[in-house]
Amino acid sequence: MKTNSTGNIVVKCMLHIVLIITAFVVLYPIAFTVGASFTKTNSLAATRLVPWPKEPSLYQFDRLFNQTRYLTWYKNTLKIALMNTILTVCLCSTVGYIFSRFKFVGKKPIMASMIVLQMFPSFIGMIATYVILWRINALNTHWGLVLVYATGSIPMNSWLMKGYFDTVSKNIEEAARVDGASRWTTYIRIILPSVKPMIMFLTLTSFTSPWMDFIFPRLILRSDDKKTLAVGLFELINGRANDNFTMFAAGALLVAIPFAILFMSGQKLMLQSLAGDGVKE
């Protein structure tokens, strides 16, 4: 008995050590970024290994707001993220519901082709995307960038929504139809609330993708007043002569604010979607 107790204690100690090391590896870069953003020095070489400066200062935030167009980049990215979220959720929810509930000619080939499209990286069609946007006068516009994001996410997100719609009992729709509700009313008032966890997950992923994307904004957006955060922050540290790494850290820290708000507000629904918690047949 003593041997088993000793063995359990050793295993628990090892697990705690592993978890502590993992937490340190994950949290230290974040703590270092926070510390670098509150330092007075302009170079990361002058920062300490201890992730907090001796004399905390808001100097980098002052530089960020007064010497760059950070607020404009932030506003542009927020607008693009919101537009992409609304368009993606509306499109992919509707497409997923159609594939889940309706039977029509070419349904299986279309769904198979959507899976095949996901096998190719998005930058393979970069030239074609550029030419199409040029033809429709969408270069250097935010709506053109939103169009690229929303249409590019249709295959994968529609499959996700279709799979979740399949878990919702059709008896609910049939009961609503018997009571006189139209198909559209049933979809809006009954089906969509039933898949709220997956819609929240789709909202989170659609909102976060424009904040982290660099390639397409760099390709499509030209003027400085149209740039997103990813492009603007990259230009702060682009080149050997730039010493704006701590200001870059301050800008990166502020990017996390909308993510934190959105994830905290939708954490419960997101966990339900990942757990597959739906209305089963």
**Pair 24, 110 in one domain:** no
Q: Are residues 215 and 92 in the same domain?
A: yes
**Secondary structure string (H, E, C) spanning 69-86:** CHHHHHHHHHHHHHHHHH
Instruction: Say yes or no: 53 and 76 in one domain.
Output: no
- Give the domain extent around 270: 67-274
Residues of the chain above pLDDT 90, percent: 16
Q: Is 118 helix (H, G, I), strand (E, B) or coil?
A: coil
Residues 84 and 41 both lie in one domain: no
Q: Give yes or no: residues 87 and 225 share one domain.
A: yes
Confidence grade of residue 48 (pLDDT, cut at 50, 70, 90) = low
Domain-embedded: residue 279: no
Q: Tell me: do 30 and 155 sit in the same domain.
A: no
- Signed CA dihedral, 139, 145, 148, 150: sign only: negative
pTM: 0.81
Report yes or no: 145 and 216 within 8 Å, Cβ to Cβ.
Answer: yes
Looking at the structure, tell me whether residues 9 and 123 fall in a common domain: no
Summarised one tens digit per residue, pLDDT across range 215-234 is: 889 888 888 889 999 898 88
Quick one: CA dihedral 235, 241, 244, 246, positive or negative?
Answer: positive
Whether residues 143 and 260 fall in one domain: yes
In sequence order, what are the residues at sequence separation of 6 or more whose Cβ sits closer than 8 angstroms to the Cβ of residue 225?
69, 72, 76
In a domain, 44, yes or no: yes
Burial of 251: CB neighbours in 10 Å, binned 0-12, 13-18, 19+? buried
Residue closest to 88 by CA, chosen among 206, 262, 205 = 206
Question: 188 and 163 share a domain?
Answer: yes
Is the residue at 281 inside a domain?
Answer: no
CA end-to-end span of the chain, whole Å? Answer: 48
Residue 278 pLDDT level (bands cut at 50, 70, 90)? very low
* 3-class SS of residue 126: helix
Residue 73 and residue 79 in contact, taking contact as beta carbons nearer than 8 Å: no
Give the pLDDT confidence of 135-166 residue by residue, as tens digits.
999 899 999 999 999 888 888 888 888 988 88
73 and 141 assigned to the same domain: yes
Q: Say if residue 280's pLDDT is above 80.
A: no
- Do 84 and 122 fall within a single domain? yes
The residues near 52 (Cβ < 8 Å, ≥ 6 apart) are 31, 34, 35, 38
What does the pLDDT read at residue 279?
Answer: 46
